[in-house]
């Protein structure tokens, strides 16, 4: 596969006004994508965004580019990424566009696409778009320009879709749930979904101002929701990220339940109902504890590269339905075509209702090994992971961990970071080993 110049593992992402994320590129990208995606049929594209302030800028630029290519545009305003995937399917649109940098700070933004079936674009389609980007922008004739409209009922449509994933014979009545929306795209969606299913909802991170998305709230910053669950004596907490495609949970004691444990809950529930298809796909970052817990239940487990698109690829190859990442991207192909934090939360709550069990009880038989992730920022084209110093540090740590531990070093696909992950039996040793390798990387940077 030819290397892509613009698209990463999750679309195009970067700091606003620098590098790839400029108004000029967004305009040209809209036009190039319109040229590639245009075909006989509806010839319309849906655009959704999260709550960061630069969303207005990139929405307008993409809208202009798509119109210049002759495609009609339907604007959704702030909506979760999985909502764009869902409504792209239901409106039979040529594609869906999400303007979001997911869990990144407000000063970053990104653009990613969904195909007409609600799945992420294939690599070859992204390469076609990049080839069009190299050509001069030529606007279609005036009478062929695309028109722009708004989907005013998009939030209501998606709320009903989410609720439809919860079994009709059950209710959340009697449960107190803290919902953290990360000041992001789910702020007007998630609290309403869980309230309408009967729960007593305490919403936090639900007041976006364009600058506070993911700031000390949400799935990547769990301290606030843990404190709130305990202080409010809630039954559990649900934390989403800025664009709503990942989830972390908190039990009533304030303990974080990550993506690996959520996968375990969903797999156990599916197995108990006789609907588990094959096994579970995790990633290279998935905790060894997940593998061991599934093994005890004779549930097959496989690892993909890091990134939900690679989880999806392996799921399709194996014909399995459940997969995800410990960071909270959860895929259940019986309930959607992409990671959906709200729907994943609903499926966990459904398992609780069916088994009349608490979140603690559903995770009682999975023991997570201590795992430490250290991020080291780097700039430039040099790859620290190929240096002799870093390789020697990794080799030394692996020899000390033996068979009851793992080391994984990788470049982030969405940020200029080297991720150093170490896993083992003793937490103090794991922390020491992770920092030792991270220091070797920092010395090069």
Would you state the pLDDT for residue 129?
94
Domain 12-151 has CATH 3.40.120.10: yes
Q: Is 232 exposed, middle or buried (0-12, 13-18, 19+ CB in 10 A)?
A: middle
* Residue 381: pLDDT over 80: no
Give me the mean pLDDT over the 181-207 stretch: 98
Q: Report pLDDT digits (tens) over 395-422.
A: 999 999 987 788 999 888 777 899 999 9
8 A C-beta contact, residue 159 and residue 189: yes
8 A C-beta contact, residue 28 and residue 150: no
Nearest to 83 by CA among 194, 189, 217: 189
Chain CA centroid to CA 377, Å: 21
Residue with tokens 């150093």: 420
Does residue 122 or residue 303 have the better pLDDT? 303
The single-letter DSSP state of residue 48 is: E
Q: From the candidates 38, 54, 67, 102, give the one annotated as an active-site residue.
A: 102
Give me the mean pLDDT over the 30-47 stretch: 85
The model carries a pTM of 0.89
Would you state the pLDDT for residue 263?
98
Would you state the pLDDT for residue 196?
98
Give me the mean pLDDT over the 332-338 stretch: 95
* Residue 190: pLDDT over 90: yes
Angle formed at CA 122 by CA 120 and CA 123, multiple of 5 degrees: 125
Nearest to 177 by CA among 188, 163, 190: 190
Fold match between 12-151 and 173-256? Answer: yes
Give me the mean pLDDT over the 285-293 stretch: 92
The single-letter DSSP state of residue 369 is: P
Q: Which two tokens stand for residue 142?
A: 């005036």
DSSP string, 93-148: -SEEEEE--TTS-TTEEEEEEEETTSSBPPHHHHHHHHHHHTSPP-PPPGGGPPPE
User: According to the annotation, is 241 in a ligand binding site?
Assistant: yes
> What is the rounded end-to-end Cα distance, in angstroms, of the chain?
29
User: According to the annotation, is 245 in a ligand binding site?
Assistant: yes
Where does the pLDDT of residue 345 fall: very low under 50, low under 70, confident under 90, or very high at 90 and above? very high
Would you state the pLDDT for residue 380?
67
Largest CA distance in the chain: 70
* Residue 41: pLDDT over 60: no
CATH hierarchy code of domain 371-444: 3.30.310.50
Q: Where are the domains of the chain?
A: 12-151, 173-256, 258-368, 371-444
* Euclidean distance between CA atoms 411 and 420, whole angstroms: 9
Average pLDDT, the chain: 94
Where does the pLDDT of residue 38 fall: very low under 50, low under 70, confident under 90, or very high at 90 and above? confident
What percentage of the chain reaches a pLDDT higher than 90? 86
304 is catalytic: no
* Euclidean distance between CA atoms 439 and 445, whole angstroms: 10
Domain 258-368 has CATH 3.30.920.30: no
Q: Report pLDDT digits (tens) over 18-33.
A: 989 999 999 999 999 9
Where does the pLDDT of residue 39 fall: very low under 50, low under 70, confident under 90, or very high at 90 and above? low
Angle formed at CA 350 by CA 189 and CA 217, multiple of 5 degrees: 40
* Euclidean distance between CA atoms 343 and 66, whole angstroms: 31
Fold annotation for 173-256: Alpha-D-Glucose-1,6-Bisphosphate; Chain A, domain 3 (3.40.120)
* Residue 1: pLDDT over 50: no
Would you state the pLDDT for residue 385?
87
């Amino acid at each position: 596969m030819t290397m892509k110049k613009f698209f990463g593992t999750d679309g195009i992402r970067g700091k606003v006004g620098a590098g790839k994320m400029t108004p000029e590129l967004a305009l040209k990208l809209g036009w190039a994508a319109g040229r590639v995606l245009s075909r006989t049929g509806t010839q319309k594209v849906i655009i959704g965004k999260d709550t960061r302030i630069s969303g207005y800028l990139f929405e307008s630029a993409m809208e202009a580019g798509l119109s210049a290519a002759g495609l009609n545009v339907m604007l959704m305003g702030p909506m979760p990424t999985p909502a764009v995937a869902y409504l792209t399917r239901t409106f039979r649109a040529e594609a869906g566009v999400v303007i979001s940098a997911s869990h990144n700070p407000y000063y970053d933004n990104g653009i990613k696409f969904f195909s007409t079936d609600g799945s992420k674009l294939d690599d070859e389609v992204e390469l076609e778009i990049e080839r069009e980007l190299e050509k001069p922008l030529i606007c279609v004739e005036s009478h062929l320009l695309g028109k722009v409209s708004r989907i005013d009922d998009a939030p209501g449509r998606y709320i009903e879709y989410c609720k439809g994933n919860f079994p009709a014979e059950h209710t959340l009545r009697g449960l107190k749930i803290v919902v953290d929306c990360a000041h992001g795209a789910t702020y007007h969606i998630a609290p309403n979904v869980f309230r309408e299913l009967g729960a007593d909802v305490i919403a936090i991170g639900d007041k976006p101002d364009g600058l506070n998305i993911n700031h000390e709230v949400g799935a990547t910053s769990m301290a606030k929701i843990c404190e709130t669950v305990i202080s409010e004596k809630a039954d559990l907490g649900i934390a989403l990220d800025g664009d709503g495609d990942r989830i972390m949970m908190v039990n009533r004691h304030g303990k974080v339940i990550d993506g690996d444990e959520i996968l375990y809950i969903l797999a156990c529930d599916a197995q108990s109902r006789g609907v588990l298809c094959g096994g579970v796909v995790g990633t290279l970052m998935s905790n060894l504890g997940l593998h061991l817990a599934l093994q005890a239940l004779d549930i097959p487990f496989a690892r993909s590269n890091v990134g939900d698109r690679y989880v999806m690829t392996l799921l399709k190859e194996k014909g399995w339905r459940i997969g995800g990442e410990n960071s909270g991207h959860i895929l259940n192909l019986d309930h959607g075509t992409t990671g959906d934090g709200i729907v994943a939360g609903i499926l966990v709550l459904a398992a609780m209702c069916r088994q009349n069990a608490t979140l603690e009880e559903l995770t009682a038989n999975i023991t997570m090994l201590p795992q430490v992730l250290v991020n080291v920022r780097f700039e430039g084209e040099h790859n620290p992971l190929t240096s002799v110093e870093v390789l020697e540090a990794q080799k030394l740590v692996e020899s000390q961990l033996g068979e009851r531990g793992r080391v994984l070093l990788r470049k982030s696909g969405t940020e200029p970071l080297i991720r150093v992950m170490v896993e083992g039996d003793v937490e103090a040793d794991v922390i020491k080993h992770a920092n030792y390798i991270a220091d070797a990387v920092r010395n090069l940077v």
